[in-house]
Amino acid sequence: MRIGVIGFGVMGKTRLKAVNALNNDHKVVMISEIVKLDAAGIDLNGIELTEDYNKIIENKNIDAVFVCTPNYLLKEIVIKALNNKKHVFCEKPPGRNLQETEEMIKAENNNSGLKLMFGFNHRHHDSMIYAKSLIDSKKFGDVLWMRGRYGKSVSHNFIHTWRAKKEFAGGGIFLDQGIHMLDLFLMMVGDFNEVKSFVSNLYWHLDVEDNVFAIFKNKKGQVAQLHSTMTQWRHLFSFEIFLEKGHIVINGILSNSGAYGREELSAAFNTVSGPDVLWASEEKVTYNLNTSWENEVKMFLNSIENDIPVPVGNSKDAYKLMKLLGMVYAEEQYD
């Protein structure tokens, strides 16, 4: 396949490297970027560069595109690309709100045979895949509850970026980063139908949130608690899953920045039922290599090659996620 990359910031570069790392016949042949292109340390030999993404979308020789732009451009570009018979991989979020997601899904449905996938690479981390396999094995019984904390601080320059304005971003830290944790909740238990949340901009006083505290509950009674923040003053990722007969805890996650430390999973099986629980054994795994980018790109290209449905990160997943996200933001109350 001949591939185009629209937007060549951090994620555009990440996707180019992932395609190249697969060492197959697929090749990025065209890149569009409206600002001065920084390609330090990246081989762009044989790749055509343009400032106009329409040249990629309208190029009949390009089969698939990666859309790696700011949030306010995603819907327009995805729909245009689908209508020009391109398979599309779109970075998260799936639009600024559920309505934009629905419009993209409509374009997908109107262009039968094309693949649309959204980038939620956290699902492709080895720790998450292993945690899901433990849950599915039923060795630990059913999930009782989950807790996720994902946060960081941002610099004072943040207020001058597009992410600080709801018009362009659609939301703040929850839509930018916390959405990954919510997606992991869905990966582990399927869905939720009740949401309670507090959404605030207590520190930055922007028109996007700097903190979300949310609780999700499904019809089985499983509860997940999420804190998404950009006033934590330190980077932190923590995902805890407690089951009937044990627990799985993942601390840290491998990222491009390296700011979240090592990715470590601990899984323990209880010898007896609660409340007087003793651990029969505890397994600890440290992950040193982040293959999530390559795994995700490989899944997208494999879906095209074999004309099979996109397994995860598909339109159904995106709709479910954005519906819940809208329920969280419905509680938005700023001073």
Return the structure tokens found at 263: 């990715």
Q: Give the model's pLDDT for residue 264.
A: 98
- Residues 177 and 135: their CA atoms lie apart, in Å, by 24
- Cβ proximity of 241 and 132 under 8 Å: no
Mean pLDDT per 10-residue run, the chain (335 residues)? Answer: 96 95 91 82 88 97 98 98 98 98 98 97 98 96 97 94 97 98 98 96 94 98 98 96 95 94 93 65 93 97 97 98 97 65
Q: Give the model's pLDDT for residue 279.
A: 66
**CATH 3.40.50.720 occupies which residues in the chain?**
2-120+294-311
**CATH 3.30.360.10 occupies which residues in the chain?**
122-290+322-329
Q: Give the model's pLDDT for residue 16.
A: 95
Q: Give the model's pLDDT for residue 314.
A: 98
Contacts of 134 (CB under 8 A, 6+ apart): 140, 248, 267
- Residues 310 and 114: their CA atoms lie apart, in Å, by 10
- Cβ proximity of 146 and 188 under 8 Å: yes
CATH 3.40.50.720 fits 2-120+294-311, yes or no: yes
Q: Give the model's pLDDT for residue 278.
A: 66
Angle at 250 between CA 248 and CA 252, to 5 degrees: 175
- Residues 137 and 147: their CA atoms lie apart, in Å, by 21
In whole angstroms, how far apart are CA 121 and each of 76, 92, 329? 23, 9, 23
DSSP conformation letters of 74-140: HHHHHHHHHHTT-EEEEESSSSSSHHHHHHHHHHHHTSTT--EEEE-GGGGSHHHHHHHHHHHHTTT
CATH topology of domain 122-290+322-329: Dihydrodipicolinate Reductase; domain 2 (3.30.360)
Q: Helix %, strand %, coil % for the chain, to 5?
A: 35, 30, 35
